[in-house]
Amino acid sequence: MLYVAKRLAVSLLLIWVVATVVFMTLHMVPGDPAEVLLSTGGTSPDPYAVAELREKLGLDRPLLVQYAEFLERLTRFDLGNSLVDDYPVAEEIALRLPRTLELILAGTLIAVVIALPTATYAALHAGGAFDRAASATAAVLQALPVFVLGTLLILLLAQWLRWMPAGGYVPLAQDPGRHFLLLLLPAVAVAKGLAATVFRMARASVLDQLSRDHVRTARAKGLTQGRVMRRHVVRNAMIPVTTVLGLQMGTLLGGTVLVEYVFNWPGLSTPLLRAVEGRDYPMVVGIVLVVSGLFLLINLVMDLLYAVLDPRISRS
């Protein structure tokens, strides 16, 4: 329990640190932040526009006041308004976030369901044909950037074979079948990196456990092969895998931005990319904060799972 409380406190602290760093970035850039945001290439921006933006972002007030206000608004989930259309950032995110989450969830599920059994089987028959084929596939998948895989999937399955739609989105309520059909390819693309990493990690971890003394003890007890595998090999091998899974989520979240773009999936990446191009600072900050918070949350869950799996963590 103490461990859980401690871990929760650390996560809250980290969210505050992340928020502070994000707040600071604008002010760490040399020069007037408003000018920086409005400048394109070498031309200096219109001074009226600069003054207007400065007022809009509250840049004319003392830094500490801005910071306090920023944090205060954050506790109310008020992320400010878009510079482009004045639409509240939080509302835009609330609309888009569930779609992104769905994609992440589907991708993670596919990755874990495919990678874990494959890895265990490959480790048990290390050096065999299956192991070599699976390991080679993982290596190739790892080297294939998500947007390349996504683009190639479209080229092959949508463009040439015409088996799948090239992308898009239909709400679940409107047409569930079409919804999941459209989800499939992006989810596979999201899953690919994670699957490759989890496969390699789990395979190494199972191999490592197989050579441990306690597995020899389990065999010396006369346990059946199946029981040795379940209770003494796979169970223990999952411990390092959860850590890797948590850390990989950062890459996964980044990859999701690219996948959504490739497949026209209207998640967070659409407003994010539009905002980056349009230098819509509040929108970018809002999305970065929400996604980073999500990342920290996932890692919190992973850490708690880790503690459940490994009694040495929570009880010492």
Partner 1 sequence: MKRLLFPGALVASIVLVALAAPILGLPDPVRQDVSNRLAPYLPGSPLGRDEFGRDVLSRIIWGARASLGVAFTSALIAGIVGTLLGLIAGWFRGTVEFISVRIADVVLCFPPILLALLVVTLLGPGASTLILVLSILYLPGFVRVTYAEVLSAGRQDYVEAVRALGAPTPRILLRTVLPNIAGPVLVQFSLAVAAAVVVESGLSFLGLGVVPPTPSWGLMIRGARATMEQAPLYLLYPCLALTLTILSMNLLCDALRDAVDRKGGARAPRLRAVDRILPGLFPARDPAPLLEVQALTVEIATPSGPIRPVEDVAFTVRAGETLAIVGESGSGKSITATAVMGLLPPVAQVVAGIARFEGRDLLDLPEEERRKLRGGAIAMVFQDPMSSLNPVHRVGDQVAEAIRAHREVSAAAASQEAVDLLKRVGIADPERRARAYPHELSGGMRQRVMIAMAIANRPRLLIADEPTTALDVTVQAGILDLLAQLRRETGMGVILITHSLGVVAETAEEVVVMYAAQVVERGTVAEVFARPLHPYTRALLAAVPEGEAEPEGIPGVVPRPDSWPPGCRFAPRCSFATAACERPPLLEQAGERLVRCIRWKELA
Residues 153-192, interacting with partner 1 (CB under 8 A): 154-155, 159-160
Beta bridge partners of 88: 81
Nearest approach, Cβ of 173 to partner 1 (angstroms)? Answer: 30
Q: Which of residues 5-44 bind partner 1 (CB under 8 A)?
A: 14, 17-18, 21-22, 25-26, 29, 36-37, 39-40
- In the numeric block, which tokens belong to residue 177? 């079948």
Amino acid at 81: N
> What's the rounded Cα separation, in Å, for the pair 235 and 167?
39
Q: What is the DSSP letter of 295?
A: H
Q: Which is nearer to partner 1, 11 or 102 (CB)?
A: 11
- Verify binding: residue 128, partner 1, rule CB under 8 A: no
Among 114, 157, 279, 305, contact with partner 1 (rule: CB under 8 A): 279
CA distances to 28, 108, 154, 247, 266 from 103, rounded to whole Å, are 34, 9, 17, 18, 11
Q: Which one of the spans 51-59, 113-121, 173-181, 272-280 is the region binding partner 1 (CB under 8 A)? A: 272-280
* Number of chain residues interacting with partner 1 (CB under 8 A): 77
Distance of CA 117 to the CA centre of its chain: 23
Nearest approach, Cβ of 91 to partner 1 (angstroms)? Answer: 20
Q: Which is nearer to partner 1, 4 or 148 (CB)?
A: 148
Q: Is the dihedral of CA 202, 205, 207, 212 positive or negative?
A: negative
Q: Which is nearer to partner 1, 172 or 307 (CB)?
A: 307
- In the numeric block, which tokens belong to residue 194? 């994670």
Among 152, 168, 175, 180, contact with partner 1 (rule: CB under 8 A): 152
Nearest approach, Cβ of 172 to partner 1 (angstroms)? Answer: 26
Q: Which one of the spans 98-106, 115-123, 183-191, 231-239 is the region binding partner 1 (CB under 8 A)? A: 231-239
CA distances to 152, 161, 273 from 156, rounded to whole Å, are 6, 6, 26
Phi/psi zone of residue 279: left (φ > 0), alpha (ψ -120 to 50 degrees), beta? left
- Verify binding: residue 61, partner 1, rule CB under 8 A: no
